[in-house]
Chains A and B, each alone.
Chain A
Amino acid sequence: MRVTVIDYKAGNLTSVLKALRHLGAEAQVTDRDLAMVEAAERIVLPGVGHFAATSRLDATSLTPAIRAAIARGVPFLGICVGMQWLYAGSSEAPNQPGLAHFSESCARFSESSEKVPHVGWNSLEVRPGSRLLAGVEPGEFVYFTHSFKAPVTADTAAITHYIEPFASAVERDNVMGVQFHPEKSGATGLKILSNFLACNARGRS
């Protein structure tokens, strides 16, 4: 399985690569090579850091290449900021558009007495029918570290509660995203990455 991991210089890719390779994937990194996106059997967009860093995807023309790959049905997984990029944008960087595959926008957690960032292990309420989260049982935990989050919509694959309910996973056909870090979420995280590697390519229905 050839997985192309997109590097847009927003933090550290080592953990994601390690987890994908541990699962037997042939993971390759690119920060500009459009041919590697065109040849990809899977695309992973990781990301820890600031939403503004995704501007690099536009500057390198990776954005249209990824959009085309998604249209061909190539399974795509965005992690953390990589998930947020699937939406129209984020209040973290209001002038930087996202892919807008999902029409809503991401926003910071509401003011409350709780701490922001949301850091630590939290649980998932998985909605039925998710291929990405198949086999994840109620009460399993995954690791989060973020201050911005996506809203709960019809495409939400899992809901997590912190300050307010938010989309901890999103999924529509071949396009998937997780707000948490599957590469840092122990056996549950590896199961989710393994589901991603195993899912069939499928175009938009």
Chain B
Amino acid sequence: MITKRIIACLDVHDGRVVKGVQFVDIIDAGDPANQAARHARDGADEIVLLDITATHEGRATLLDTVRRTARELFVPFCVGGGIRSAGDAAQVFEAGADKVSVNSAALANPQLIDDIGRSFGAQAVVVAIDARRDPQAADPVRYAQVYVQGGRRPVGRTVVEWAREAESRGAGEILLTSMDSDGMRTGFDCELTAAVSQAVGIPVIASGGAGTVAHFVDVFSRGKADAALAASIFHFGVSSARSLKQELAAAGVSVRLPC
């Protein structure tokens, strides 16, 4: 039976793992290669590395980080941040990534999704969407808006419509981050996740808000997520993917165990 994936996310800034609470208050949490290896050992089903500085700074540090991180990693490895062209993606794949995630660059140039998919396969393209509910709308979830620049600027498109376009252009997965919940540890936005998951035929990875095991149970059942991303819950020894998955299994969620 297909299992629900627990994906460890490393937000990386200048070659170091950091974790922000709503993208401010950044705290140093270690070396990306060490952290990724530890998460894989501790049962994570996949590793995502998001370079939160790449948009503004050089790529050499990131490529070196990807190379070091990929070296001894034998689970799927996705890299995002600052990938603006199929050429950028090719460098990241060459450095050892299995998938790339694209966000603002794909919004500016949706053809980027087609281009990367054509060269590396649809399974290699994850479209990351930063979303906020629209409190002004009659249905805040259905009309949730796509944001860029770390959740500061709305682009004027609904999340559901953009997710559908990404799928039609050949995206392999959607990584949906609720900017309302991110870093809050109050739970995923299950209504928003379910709305997107039901609107597309490709897997949806839920992100933003994980704080307890119950939050994961909720996003897999009510949120209809295929995978869930966690960052801060694994840092600072709060929990490991293995113990999280053991608790999920006890709650009736199908997960990869033993791992």
Contact = CB atoms under 8 A, between A and B. Distances in A.
Interface of A: 10-12, 14-15, 18-19, 22, 48-50, 115-123, 139, 141, 143, 145-146, 161-162, 181, 183-187, 189-190
A178 to B, nearest CB: 15
B74 A120 contact: no
13 contacts: A15-B70, A116-B202, A117-B202, A120-B2, A120-B226, A120-B227, A141-B3, A145-B123, A145-B172, A161-B1, A184-B98, A185-B74, A186-B75
A8 B77 CA distance: 22
A189 B123 contact: no
A14 B93 contact: yes
Interface string B46-71: 00000000000000000000000011
Contacts of A123: 1
A116 B4 CA distance: 15
Interface string B244-259: 0000000000001011
B173 interface: yes
Given A161-B1, A185-B74, A119 B173 contact: yes
A202 to B, nearest CB: 28
Contacts of B226: 115, 119-120
B122 interface: yes
B186 to A, nearest CB: 27
B123 A48 contact: yes
B5 A15 contact: no
B3 A115 contact: no
B93 A118 contact: no
A118 B96 contact: no
Given A50-B121, A120-B226, 19 more contacts: A11-B120, A12-B93, A12-B98, A14-B94, A15-B77, A116-B201, A117-B122, A117-B172, A119-B123, A120-B5, A120-B45, A121-B2, A122-B2, A184-B75, A184-B76, A185-B75, A186-B40, A187-B74, A189-B74
B203 interface: yes
B172 to A, nearest CB: 6
Nearest to A48: B121
A119 to B, nearest CB: 5
Interface on chain B toward A: helix, strand, loop, or mixed SS? loop
A66 to B, nearest CB: 21
A189 B76 CA distance: 12
Contacts of B94: 12, 14
Contacts of B71: 18
B173 to A, nearest CB: 6
B78 to A, nearest CB: 11
Contacts of A50: 121
A115 B203 contact: yes
Nearest to A119: B203
A143 B202 contact: no
B7 to A, nearest CB: 10
A54 B75 CA distance: 26
A181 B74 CA distance: 10
Contacts of B8: none
Contacts of B97: 12
A52 B203 CA distance: 24
A19 B173 CA distance: 25
A115 B96 contact: no
B76 A118 contact: no
Given A18-B96, A119-B226, A190-B74, A11 B202 contact: no
B72 interface: yes
A22 B2 contact: no
A19 B96 CA distance: 11
A56 B98 CA distance: 22
B123 A122 contact: no
B121 A11 contact: yes
A186 B93 contact: no
B120 A115 contact: no
Contact of A18 (B1, B40, B70, B201): B70
